[in-house]
Amino acid sequence: MAPHRTGRLPAMLDGRLRLPLIAAPMFLVSGPELVIACCRAGVIGSFPTANCRTTDELDDWLTRMTAEVATFREANPGLPVAPVAANLIVHRSNPRVAEDLALLARYRIGLVIASVGSPEHVVGPVHDYGGLVLADVASMRHVEKAAAAGADGLILLTAGAGGQTGWANPFAFVRAARAAFDGPIVLAGGIADGVALRAAETLGADLAYMGTRFIATRESMASEAYKRMVVEARLDDITLTRAFTGLPTSMLTGSIVAAGLDPLALPERGAIDIAKDINPEARGKRRWRDIWSAGHSAEGVGDVPAVARLVERLVREYDDAEAGRATGRG
């Protein structure tokens, strides 16, 4: 398959993508194996720097990921091999922003995703080494602020995205953002197959996030129980709550129940302390490890393939949708 091209994507992605797709950065899910496998398959592999407990560990991860992706690219000059992207939580509550950003600069990570706050303080340092900043946004007010701060691209968090999510309808949000912003737009929320990916482009997005679908892959860091729950979940098995992070978050209802909590009677706005057991009698479960996020697109996850096999399937679905041959879920 020829590399994917679109006029609004940055030059650093030219010829490096098989699909206009980012495997979304997911807490305790996206690790080196998943990122490397995605990049080798021709989709952008991303990870949260917060998945590394220390800057030393982040240094180790970056060394491995950049080296293995570069080696594979050199050995396969005819293949589209995607770059590594890093997700940085820019909120003031993150004490490692400066240290993590310095490491991303040292490795010249071309795509930095700024989440939970304005990208204004990371745009300059990333631009200094030639990188680009994509900013998470969940409203038109966020769109305007991110653009004013110098973000190179926008990631639209829409209703049904896994983990910390947005509230806006994706059809309305993409069209409104496209009218207000002429740079790359990434649609996040509800995308599990190549048909939905093609639809995102039709709306005016240049790329899409796919997170939940990549939880259930062999290379994911998710536990086997987590992967199985994603495969078995339906759209109705997702609970939207502020109880665990203080922000609207899409979580697997089954994992909430397994932790000894009633999904219909959760406290408001992060009232459950991240540093404590949810329920000391519920087998020592902790919310950040044993209550799992997933989006509405869990409905479209039916197996746990290797990333390479999944991407091949997505390519077929995407091509069929482009040719008008899409018949249903892949």
Burial class (CB within 10 angstroms; exposed 0-12, middle 13-18, buried 19+) of 265 = exposed
Sign, CA torsion 144/146/147/148: positive
Averaged over successive runs of 10 residues, the pLDDT of the chain (330 residues) comes to 64 92 96 98 97 96 98 96 96 90 98 95 96 97 96 97 94 97 96 97 96 98 97 97 88 93 83 44 55 96 98 97 67
Q: What's the pLDDT at 194?
A: 97
Same structural domain, 36 and 135? yes
Same structural domain, 101 and 242? no
Domain presence at residue 277 = yes
Q: What's the pLDDT at 269?
A: 64
Domain presence at residue 154 = yes
Range of the domain at 239: 234-290
- Count structural domains, the chain: 2
Domain presence at residue 274 = yes
Same structural domain, 263 and 313? no
Query: Which H/E stretch holds residue 45?
Result: strand 44-48
Q: What's the pLDDT at 6?
A: 57
Domain presence at residue 92 = yes
Neighbours of 288 (CB within 10 A): 13
CATH number at residue 23: 3.20.20.70
Q: What's the pLDDT at 283?
A: 47
Q: What's the pLDDT at 109?
A: 98
Domain presence at residue 139 = yes
pTM of the model: 0.92
Same structural domain, 177 and 245? no
d(CA 152, CA 131): 9
Same structural domain, 211 and 81? yes
Q: What's the pLDDT at 268?
A: 78
DSSP letter for each residue of 47-68: EEGGGSSSHHHHHHHHHHHHHH
d(CA 109, CA 169): 31
